[in-house]
Structure 1
Amino acid sequence: MADAKREIERKYEATDATRLPDLTRVAGVAAVDHLGITVLDAVYYDTEDFRLAADRLTLRRRTGGSDAGWHLKFPVSSGIRDELRAPLSDALPPDLAGLVRSRVRGADLVPVVRLRSARDVHLLRGPDGAPLAELSVDAVRAERLHGPGRSTAWTEIEAELADDADPAFLDAVEERLTEAGIRPSASESKVARALAETAPDTTPGPRPDPPRTAGDHVLAYVREQAAEIVALDPAVRRDLPDSVHRMRVATRRLRSALRSHRTVLDRTVTDPVAGELRRLAAELGVDRDQEVLDARLRARLDTLPRTLVLGPVRARLRLWSTARRAGTRRRTLAVLDSARHLALLDALDALVTDPPLLPAAAGPPGPELARAVRRDRRRLAHRVDRALDLPPGPGRDRALHDARKAAKRARYAAETARPALGKPAKKAAERLKAVQTLLGDHQDGVVAREALRTLAVQAHAAGEPSFTWGVLYGQEQAEAAARERELPAVWARAARDDLRAASGR
């Protein structure tokens, strides 16, 4: 994987006549080293329809300076980006190509802008000599390379925080620059400014109008989850914390929306997409489910008195987990690189660009969205009643797992309705989430008991004590029974219908 760096910087307007103030007067600065002028030459790449620019990603090949090479930047928040770097080469390195694949897909990446900069660099150091930030005055000339356009030029000041320095230091730098009459830049990046000034038609368009109809609200939710799946693809590839879980949740939310709102969106079109989303969630779940199970079993062991831990319990758990997780990351990456996954992303684009709306989509949102929540809640009620009527055992466990999936779908329907129905929908989503959480914990216990039985059998076959695995099994069994006793009261709260007044009916 390419080298990663968290970039924290601020940009300021300048002219050829702008002079930096005395930077030793910045709080915390003991010395300023003038490093001279460096000439940088960067070519920025994007698709012909500027998909990277639309999502505020920048991809460039730069020569000059100490970090010549390929750079890909992802926005994190205002003034903060993650920069992935790869060595200089003629072609885009495979690692970086993978990180933009969910946006680019089959489109070509073409040179769109060339920026040539003369960078006058000043290094700000603290009392111990450690770098605090680099302040540079950049004289930039931008040339449009793709399509009709023109050249432009400007001068700007850039303050970039040094590695491991306190981000609050940039506040002190800004205070000194403000005193000198220097103001923050209106543009978040050089390439964004270059595109805006050389070809204004390539800048992102206005945001959609606020949703008004039932179809608008459903599509807003669908659009949000589809965008989340695309945005999390590179995070999963980078193995960022919680990225697999978040992507899996987005696929489930989107699939639930397509199924819940079948009176708004034509199921003959959306059902194949929902099926692909189900497959994707299942593939992503292989490693995530094992991760959750590992954490649960380790937590159980951590709370167990030492006198009840007999034999090489932790070593066996570690070996068992490692064996089960072997190859799962390679499998996940193979799924994301597959033609089937890219076809799913194209299908999601088509869904939000040309939605298969039914007549109910044109109606007011309140009645239609409330009806979807009630429909899913009735489905959940049926499953809860069926599960509670069964005796304890595998049959009830399976029925409670089915109820959990229904609770999740009803919760997501309430979340879709929240912008239109307000507080009642929020309360409904919270209560349904409580049901989902309880049933989720119950199902995790079912899976944990199956794992503990397997570990006990393996320990026994190896001549190790299986006592500890039995103790943990008993704990899981007792907790599952407790969750089942709690369910009627938790479900009773979720079964309340507070949506009628809010929906206008």
Structure 2
Amino acid sequence: MADAKREIERKYESDDSGLPDLTGVGGVAAVLDKGVVELDATYYDTADERLAAAALTLRRRTGGSDAGWHLKFPVGPGVRDEIRAPLSDTVPEEIAALVRSRVRDDELVPLVRLRSARDVRHLVDAEGALLAEASVDAVTAERLGGRGGAAQWTEIEVELADDGDPAFLDLVEKRLRRAGVRPSKSPSKLARALEQTGGRRPRKDKPAPQVTAGDHVLAYLRAQRDVLVDLDPAVRRDIPDSVHRMRVATRRARSTLRSFRSVLDRAVTDPVAAELKWLAGELGVGRDQEVMAERLTAALDALPPHLVAGPVPERLASWAQARRGGAQSHLAGVLDSRRYLTLLDTLDALLADPPLRKAAGKKPGKVLAKAAAKDLATVSALVEQAIDVPPGEERDVAVHEARKKAKRTRYAAEAAAPALGGPARSLTKAMKSLTTLLGDHQDSVMTRLTLRELSAVAHAAGENTFTYGVLYGREEARAAQAEAELPRLWKEIGSTAAV
């Protein structure tokens, strides 16, 4: 099974002088010589180097204490999450799944071989605890597949100990700089190897200038596609909030296709929008349950002890855990499905050859403003309907529909903001306030449904159901409060929201 480790390190150029003395830096009491380790790593990628372009590295390494498969995701400057799996002849499935959104049906092939003689030093404090590992690596890089040459260099690497303070690396760097050692120009050994053995240095292309309405719409849509691809491995790893963010990107992409039909031909985009709706629904299986569990747990914690009767906390925790496990397994199946991978391919094809209509070539101001204004008019009608109908199921439905269209209007305003500036940003802010209020109302509706289900199960088990009734009443009050707040908020929005 694969495991994960947060890696915080810095790399430096090195000459024949080697590693300066680091004794006394940031509490370093001793520098222990751990000898030389021979490392042999083969890096894998697609033929067109998709992983390298995204600053991902996938390698099979022998030698050292952590031989095996390593997949590294960038987190920030000098910070990466490393996923490890045991040594095997082929890429382990748990590793392959984490790059599937980029690799898809292409093959992962050996790209570069790096052999390093690593001269290791441990930086320890007065009690012998490890602060960091510093090494001088003599590297030989070989481009594989007959596509390039070879290169050699020496570098210094300083890796922070687990749970160490990153500020310690600042102190080490200060000492290294005083000794004439400078940070490496390449973010990783692989990046340097690709550059020096006939490949290209991985870097993202600069965004094209946004001149026309079509440019703005496609830029926003492309950003959402990129978020989907980037978040895929985070969702598979069950990183907090990743499902929510991926679902939002899916909705933004779908809303873009629906709001800007004057820019993109709906005969081509409607089927794509339908598939995005499907994906959002599948992602919602886990996300809606997560929101529900958090809401119920917070509500239960807020109750005075005398209002908690029976094993309510235990039943709620058991319900949440069972639903969460099932949802995660379901999501893994969705992300491995042919339907999902085809959707990613379809988005790529649409962006590469967009079905532009006449309005796409016009200046963005009027085109984008007209689309956002049309969405806002729809929201206005739905909000007025929600205010007018009496409380009950009909109002619940009207509020939910208004919320969905308010989200769509918000995303249209976001897409238009680079062209329209302040008015679009004001509309975005207004729709965010509206969706927050209406979202709390919808969460209350769904929470009451869940409470009825939990109460029925508890009753069948002979448990006291009093607390479920208390929670249900409080949720009714929250919904009523949101309904009472809606007219005031909508009046306030009506006086400021325009594009």
TM-score class, shorter-chain normalisation, is over 0.9
Contact 2:264 2:356 (C-alpha < 8 Å) held by counterparts: yes
Q: Secondary structure at the match of 1:408?
A: helix
- Offset at residue 462 of structure 1 (A): 3.3
Distance 1:323 1:137, change over 3 A: closer
Q: How far apart, in 2, do the equivalents of 1:31 and 1:392 lie?
A: 72
Q: Secondary structure at the match of 1:107?
A: coil
Q: How far apart, in 2, do the equivalents of 1:60 and 1:345 lie?
A: 25
Map residues 296-315 of structure 1 onto 2, 5 A cutoff.
296-315=295-314
Give the paired residue count.
Answer: 499
- Offset at residue 200 of structure 1 (A): 4.0
What does residue 82 of structure 1 align with?
81
Distance 1:450 1:2, change over 3 A: same
What does residue 228 of structure 2 align with?
229
What does residue 4 of structure 2 align with?
4
Q: What's the % identity of the aligned pairs? A: 62
What does residue 431 of structure 1 align with?
430
Q: Secondary structure at the match of 2:26?
A: coil
Contact 1:421 1:499 (C-alpha < 8 Å) held by counterparts: no
What does residue 259 of structure 1 align with?
258
Q: How far apart, in 2, do the equivalents of 1:493 and 1:50 lie?
A: 51
Give a deviation string over 1:153-206, Cα, whole Å, max 9, x none.
111111111111111110111011000011111100010011112124464463
Distance 1:326 1:44, change over 3 A: closer
Q: How far apart, in 1, do the equivalents of 2:426 and 2:49 lie?
A: 40
Q: Which amino acid aligns with 1:168?
A: A
- Offset at residue 352 of structure 1 (A): 1.6
Contact 1:25 1:176 (C-alpha < 8 Å) held by counterparts: no
Map residues 330-349 of structure 1 onto 2, 5 A cutoff.
330-349=329-348
Query: Structure 2 length normalisation: TM-score?
Result: 0.97
- Offset at residue 227 of structure 1 (A): 0.7
CA RMSD in angstroms, aligned pairs only: 1.6
Q: How far apart, in 1, do the equivalents of 2:446 and 2:187 lie?
A: 48
Contact 1:397 1:443 (C-alpha < 8 Å) held by counterparts: yes
What does residue 139 of structure 1 align with?
138
Map residues 123-134 of structure 1 onto 2, 5 A cutoff.
123-134=122-133
Give a deviation string over 1:78-103, Cα, whole Å, max 9, x none.
10000111111111111101111111
- Offset at residue 325 of structure 1 (A): 4.2
- Offset at residue 389 of structure 1 (A): 1.8
- Offset at residue 291 of structure 1 (A): 1.4
Q: Which amino acid aligns with 1:456?
A: S
What does residue 196 of structure 2 align with?
197
Q: Secondary structure at the match of 2:33?
A: strand
Q: How far apart, in 2, do the equivalents of 1:205 and 1:391 lie?
A: 54
Q: How far apart, in 2, do the equivalents of 1:119 and 1:55 lie?
A: 27
Q: Secondary structure at the match of 2:27?
A: coil
- Offset at residue 451 of structure 1 (A): 1.7
What does residue 92 of structure 2 align with?
93
Q: Secondary structure at the match of 1:27?
A: helix
Contact 2:222 2:351 (C-alpha < 8 Å) held by counterparts: yes
What does residue 155 of structure 1 align with?
154
Distance 1:63 1:364, change over 3 A: same
Q: How far apart, in 1, do the equivalents of 2:119 and 2:324 lie?
A: 50
- Offset at residue 240 of structure 1 (A): 1.0
Q: Which amino acid aligns with 1:249?
A: V
Q: Which amino acid aligns with 2:107?
A: D
Q: How far apart, in 2, do the equivalents of 1:174 and 1:323 lie?
A: 48
What does residue 366 of structure 2 align with?
367
Q: Which amino acid aligns with 1:353?
A: A
Contact 2:54 2:202 (C-alpha < 8 Å) held by counterparts: no
Distance 1:187 1:432, change over 3 A: same
What does residue 244 of structure 1 align with?
243
Give a deviation string over 1:243-274, Cα, whole Å, max 9, x none.
11111111111111111111111111111111
Map residues 277-316 of structure 1 onto 2, 5 A cutoff.
277-316=276-315
Give a deviation string over 1:3-54, Cα, whole Å, max 9, x none.
1111111111112x23322111423110001112111111111001111011
Q: Secondary structure at the match of 1:425?
A: helix
Q: How far apart, in 2, do the equivalents of 1:25 and 1:461 lie?
A: 68
- Offset at residue 379 of structure 1 (A): 0.8
Contact 2:289 2:320 (C-alpha < 8 Å) held by counterparts: yes
- Offset at residue 495 of structure 1 (A): 3.0
Distance 1:187 1:325, change over 3 A: closer
What does residue 503 of structure 1 align with?
none
Distance 1:206 1:295, change over 3 A: closer
Give a deviation string over 1:62-88, Cα, whole Å, max 9, x none.
111111111110000010000111111
Distance 1:480 1:170, change over 3 A: same
Q: Which amino acid aligns with 1:381?
A: S
Contact 2:403 2:434 (C-alpha < 8 Å) held by counterparts: yes
Q: How far apart, in 1, do the equivalents of 2:367 and 2:355 lie?
A: 17
Q: How far apart, in 2, do the equivalents of 1:39 and 1:228 lie?
A: 38
Q: How far apart, in 2, do the equivalents of 1:157 and 1:201 lie?
A: 23
What does residue 473 of structure 1 align with?
472
Q: Which amino acid aligns with 1:4?
A: A
Contact 1:407 1:432 (C-alpha < 8 Å) held by counterparts: yes
Structure 1, unpaired ranges of 5+: 501-505
2:349 maps to 1:350: yes
Q: Which amino acid aligns with 2:144?
A: L
Contact 1:28 1:127 (C-alpha < 8 Å) held by counterparts: yes
Q: Which amino acid aligns with 1:369?
A: L
What does residue 326 of structure 2 align with?
327
Which segment is superposed worse, 341-350 or 295-304?
295-304
